[in-house]
Amino acid sequence: MSETKMVKLLIDGQEVTVPDGTLVVEAAKQLGTQIPVYCYHPKMDPVGLCRICLVEIEKAPKLQIACSTRVTEGMVVRTMSPKVAEARRGVLEFLLLNHPLDCPICDKGGECDLQDFTMEYGPGASRLTEPKLHKPKRVDLGPTIVLDEERCILCRRCTRFDNEIAQERNLVVVERGHNSLIGTIDGGDYESYFSGNTTEICPVGALTSKAYRFRARPWDLSHADSVCTQCSVGCNYRVDARFGNIMRTFTRENSDVDGGWICDRGRYTFNYLYEPARLREPLVRRDGDLERASFAEAVALTAEKLGAAAAAGRAGVIGGGRLSDEEAFALQLFARKVLGTNNIDHRARLQRYASPARFGARLRDLDDADLILMFGAITPEQAPILDLRIRRAVARNAAHLVFVGPFKPDLAVPFHYVEYATGAIGDLMEALADALKRGAQPQGAFAIDLARNLNEASKIVAVHNGRNPVAASALEQLIETLLAVGKRGGILVVGSQGNARGAEAVGCVPNLGPGYAPLANAGMTTAEMLTAAANGKLDALFIAGANPALTFPDGALARKALESVPFLAVAEQVMTETAAYANVVFAAASQFEKRGHVTNLEGRRQAFAQAVEAPIYVATDAAIVSALASALNKPDVLDDDPDWLFSRLQAVEQAAKPAEPLARPKLDPSVTAHGDNLDAQRKTFTVVPVPKLYAGGGPSLHDPGLAPMRPQARASFHEDDALLLGIAQDRVVTLTGPNGSITVAANVGTSAAVGTVLVTADMPEAPVNRLLDASGRGRVTVTPAPLRKEALA
Amino acid sequence: MATFEPVIMKGIGESDLADIDVYERGGGFSVLRKVMSDMTPDAVAAVVTESNLRGRGGAGFPTGRKWSFLPKDGRPRYLVCNCDEAEPGTFKDRMLLEKTPLQLIEGLVISAYAMGAKQAYIYIRGEFLEGSRIFRRALAAAQSRNYLGDRILGSDFSLDLVVHRGAGAYICGEETAQLESIEGRRGEPRLKPPFPAVAGLYGMPTVVNNVETLCYVKHIIERGAQWFAKIGPEKSPGPKIMSVSGHVRQPGNYEIPLGIPARELIDEYAGGLLPGRKLKAFQPGGASSAALFEEDLDVGIDFDSLAAKRTMLGSGGFVVMDDTACMVNCARTLTRFFEHESCGQCTPCREGGQWVARMVARLEAGEGSQEDLRVLNVINNTITGTNLCPLGDSIMPFLSSVLKRFPDEFAAHVAHGACPIKDVTAVVA
Amino acid sequence: MTPERLARGHELVARYPRPQSALVPFLQYCQEQDGYVTLQAMRDAAELVGITPGEVESIASFYTLLFKAPAGKHIVQVCRTLSCMLRGAEDLQAYIKRRLGIGHLETSADGQYYYEEVECLAACDRAPCLQHNLEYHYDVTPASFDKLLDSWQASAPAPAMPAE
Ligand SMILES: Cc1cc2nc3c(=O)[nH]c(=O)nc-3n(C[C@H](O)[C@H](O)[C@H](O)COP(=O)(O)O)c2cc1C
Ligand code: SF4
Ligand code: FES
ipTM of the complex: 0.94
pLDDT higher than 60, residue B427: no
pLDDT higher than 90, residue B361: yes
Which residues of chain C neighbour A172 with C-beta distances below 8 Å? 54-55, 57-58
Residue of C nearest to B180 (CA): C21
Nearest CA to ligand 2 atom 8: B343
Task: Give the closest ligand to the alpha carbon of residue B80.
Answer: 1
Is B338 domain-assigned?
yes
Phi, psi (deg, nearest 5) at residue A92: -65, -40
Output B364-371 pairs: Cβ under 8 A, ≥24 positions apart: B364/B326, B364/B328, B364/B329, B364/B332, B364/B413, B364/B419, B366/B413, B366/B416, B366/B417, B366/B418, B366/B419, B367/B417, B368/B413, B368/B414, B369/B414, B370/B414, B371/A127, B371/A129
Higher-pLDDT residue of A791 and A173 is A173
- Domain A283-350+499-655 coded CATH 2.115.10.20: no
pLDDT at B287: 96
Higher-pLDDT residue of A789 and A657 is A657
> Does B277 lie in the same domain as B177?
no
Chain C interface includes B176 (CB < 8 A): no
- List all chains that touch chain B, counting a touch as 3 or more CB pairs closer than 8 Å: A, C
pLDDT at A680: 56
Nearest CA to ligand 1 atom 19: B59
pLDDT at A122: 84
> Does B25 lie in the same domain as B163?
yes
End-to-end alpha carbon distance in chain A: 61
Chain B interface includes C93 (CB < 8 A): no
> Does B209 lie in the same domain as B182?
yes
Distances (CA, A) of A465 to A124, A381, A430, A494, A496: 57, 12, 18, 5, 8
CATH architecture of A363-493: 3-Layer(aba) Sandwich (3.40)
Query: What DSSP state is assigned to residue A518?
Result: B
Q: Which residues have a Cβ under 8 Å from the Cβ of B45 and sit 6 or more positions away? A: B64, B67, B68, B114, B115
The 10s digit of each residue's pLDDT in A28-54 is 999 999 999 999 999 999 999 999 999
Q: Is A70 exposed, middle or buried (0-12, 13-18, 19+ CB in 10 A)?
A: middle
Distances (CA, A) of A410 to A142, A421, A444: 20, 18, 24
Q: Which residues have a Cβ under 8 Å from the Cβ of B110 and sit 6 or more positions away? A: B31, B32, B35, B44, B217, B218, B221
pLDDT at A329: 98
Closest Cβ–Cβ partner in C25, C82, C122 for B94: C122
- Report yes or no: A359 and A476 within 8 Å, Cβ to Cβ: yes
The 10s digit of each residue's pLDDT in B6-22 is 999 999 999 999 999 99
Nearest-Cα distance to chain A for C53, in Å, is 6
SS3 state at A321: coil
pLDDT higher than 80, residue B2: no
The structural domain count of chain B equals 3
pTM: 0.94
Confidence of residue A474 (pLDDT cuts 50, 70, 90): confident
Nearest to A544 by CA among A703, A326, A701: A326
pLDDT higher than 90, residue C142: yes
Q: Which residues have a Cβ under 8 Å from the Cβ of A466 and sit 6 or more positions away? A: A351, A352, A353, A354, A472, A493, A494, A495, A496
Strands A315-319 and A540-544: parallel
- Per the prediction, chain A carries an average pLDDT of 91
Residues of chain A with CATH 2.40.40.20: 685-792
- Report yes or no: A386 and A362 within 8 Å, Cβ to Cβ: no
CA B342–ligand 2 middle distance (angstroms) = 6
- Report yes or no: A555 and A739 within 8 Å, Cβ to Cβ: yes
pLDDT at B351: 97
> Does B273 lie in the same domain as B373?
no
Is B304 domain-assigned?
yes
In short, whether B213's Cβ falls inside 6 Å of ligand 1 is yes
- Report yes or no: B419 and B410 within 8 Å, Cβ to Cβ: no
Which residues of chain C neighbour A174 with C-beta distances below 8 Å? 57-58, 61
In short, whether B395's Cβ falls inside 6 Å of ligand 2 is no
The 10s digit of each residue's pLDDT in B47-85 is 999 999 999 999 999 999 999 999 999 999 999 999 999
In short, whether B84's Cβ falls inside 6 Å of ligand 1 is yes
In short, whether B284's Cβ falls inside 6 Å of ligand 1 is no
The 10s digit of each residue's pLDDT in B95-107 is 999 999 999 999 9
Residue of A nearest to B371 (CA): A127
pLDDT at A522: 95
Task: Give the closest ligand to the alpha carbon of residue A46.
Answer: 3
Say which CATH topology domain C3-62 has.
Arc Repressor Mutant, subunit A (1.10.10)
- Interatomic CA distance for residues A25 and A66, integer angstroms: 5
- Interatomic CA distance for residues A217 and A108, integer angstroms: 8
Residues of chain A with CATH 3.40.228.10: 363-493
Distances (CA, A) of C125 to B57, B245, B276: 19, 5, 20
Q: How many residues does chain C have?
A: 164
> Does B144 lie in the same domain as B56?
yes
The 10s digit of each residue's pLDDT in B383-407 is 999 999 999 999 999 999 999 999 9
Which class would CATH give A6-80? Answer: alpha beta
- Interatomic CA distance for residues B370 and B385, integer angstroms: 25
Confidence of residue A126 (pLDDT cuts 50, 70, 90): low
In short, whether B345's Cβ falls inside 6 Å of ligand 2 is yes
pLDDT at A119: 87
Considering B229, B258, B290, which residue would you say is the last residue of a domain?
B229
> Does B185 lie in the same domain as B46?
yes
> Does B221 lie in the same domain as B112?
yes
CA atoms within 13 A on the CB side of B371: 8
Phi, psi (deg, nearest 5) at residue A19: -60, 145
Tell me the CATH number of domain C74-153, given options 1.10.10.10, 3.40.50.150, 3.30.1860.10, 3.40.30.10: 3.40.30.10
Strand partners, B318: B244
Residue of C nearest to B331 (CA): C82
Task: Give the closest ligand to the alpha carbon of residue B172.
Answer: 1
Phi, psi (deg, nearest 5) at residue B167: -140, 30
Q: Kindly give the residue spans of alpha helices, DSSP state H, lying in A340-468.
A: 379-382, 384-397, 425-438, 445-456
Nearest-Cα distance to chain B for A49, in Å, is 5
Instruction: Tell me whether residues A185 and C51 touch, CB distance under 8 A.
Output: no
- Report yes or no: A329 and A349 within 8 Å, Cβ to Cβ: no
> Does B137 lie in the same domain as B65?
yes
The 10s digit of each residue's pLDDT in B161-189 is 999 999 999 999 999 999 999 999 999 99
Strands A488-493 and A540-544: unpaired
Query: Stretch A376-385: mean pLDDT, rounded?
Result: 93
Nearest CA to ligand 3 atom 1: A37
CA A39–ligand 1 middle distance (angstroms) = 27
Q: Which residues line the pocket of ligand 3, CB cutoff 6 A?
A: A 37-40, 48-53, 65, 67
pLDDT at A154: 97
Chosen from B95, B185, B250, B391 to mutate, greatest number of chain C CBs within 10 A: B185
Select, from the ranges A129-138, A718-727, C13-22, the one with the highest average predicted confidence (pLDDT): C13-22
Higher-pLDDT residue of A507 and A682 is A507
Query: What DSSP state is assigned to residue A105?
Result: G
- Report yes or no: C58 and A173 within 8 Å, Cβ to Cβ: yes
pLDDT higher than 90, residue A682: no
Nearest-Cα distance to chain C for A161, in Å, is 14
Nearest to A303 by CA among A564, A638, A577, A529: A638
Pocket test for ligand 3, best of A34, A55, A65 (most atoms within 8 A of CB): A65
Chain B interface includes C33 (CB < 8 A): no
pLDDT higher than 90, residue B221: yes
Distances (CA, A) of B127 to A641, B136, B168, B283: 76, 15, 7, 24
Considering B281, B300, B322, which residue would you say is the last residue of a domain?
B322
Domain range for B301: 239-322
Which residues of chain A neighbour C54 with C-beta distances below 8 Å? 169-172, 183-185
SS3 state at B49: helix
Q: Please tell me the CATH code under which domain A128-274 is placed.
A: 3.30.70.20
- Report yes or no: A476 and A356 within 8 Å, Cβ to Cβ: yes
- Interatomic CA distance for residues A295 and A585, integer angstroms: 10
Tell me the CATH number of domain A685-792, given options 3.30.70.560, 3.10.20.90, 2.40.40.20, 1.10.630.10: 2.40.40.20
- Interatomic CA distance for residues B105 and C92, integer angstroms: 38
CATH of the domain at B346: 1.20.1440.230
Nearest-Cα distance to chain C for B366, in Å, is 17
- Per the prediction, chain B carries an average pLDDT of 95
Strand partners, C116: C77
Nearest-Cα distance to chain B for C136, in Å, is 9
- Interatomic CA distance for residues A567 and A573, integer angstroms: 20
- Interatomic CA distance for residues A282 and A617, integer angstroms: 7
CA B189–ligand 2 middle distance (angstroms) = 7
Query: What DSSP state is assigned to residue A335?
Result: I
> Does B288 lie in the same domain as B160?
no
Is B424 domain-assigned?
yes
pLDDT higher than 90, residue B37: yes
pLDDT at A674: 40
Is B384 domain-assigned?
yes
Residue of C nearest to B162 (CA): C15
CA B388–ligand 2 middle distance (angstroms) = 6
Strand partners, A491: A360, A462
What is the atom index within ligand 2 of the atom nearest the CA of B353?
Answer: 2
Q: From the CA atom positions of chain C, what is the Rg in Å?
A: 17
Strand partners, A760: A690
Closest Cβ–Cβ partner in B94, B168, B184 for C65: B168
- The helix or strand, by DSSP H or E, that contains position B347, with its residue range, turns out to be helix B347-347
Nearest-Cα distance to chain A for B277, in Å, is 38
Query: What DSSP state is assigned to residue A506?
Result: T
Is B68 domain-assigned?
yes
CA atoms within 13 A on the CB side of A595: 15
Is B3 domain-assigned?
no
Task: Give the closest ligand to the alpha carbon of residue B206.
Answer: 1
pLDDT at A699: 86
Instruction: Tell me whether residues B351 and A49 touch, CB distance under 8 A.
Output: no
Phi, psi (deg, nearest 5) at residue A7: -125, 155
Task: Delimit the domains of chain C by residue range.
Answer: 3-62, 74-153
CA A756–ligand 3 middle distance (angstroms) = 52
Number of other residues whose CB lies within 10 A of the CB of residue A33: 18
Q: Kindly give the residue spans of alpha helices, DSSP state H, lying in C3-65.
A: 3-14, 23-34, 39-49, 53-60
- Interatomic CA distance for residues B191 and A72, integer angstroms: 18
pLDDT higher than 60, residue A737: yes
- Interatomic CA distance for residues C11 and C23, integer angstroms: 12
Which residues of chain B neighbour C25 with C-beta distances below 8 Å? 164-165
pLDDT higher than 90, residue A755: no
What is the atom index within ligand 2 of the atom nearest the CA of B387?
Answer: 1
Query: What DSSP state is assigned to residue A219?
Result: G
Nearest-Cα distance to chain A for B417, in Å, is 19
pLDDT at A660: 84
CATH of the domain at B54: 3.40.50.11540
Chain C interface includes B243 (CB < 8 A): yes
Pocket test for ligand 1, best of B174, B313, B343 (most atoms within 8 A of CB): B174
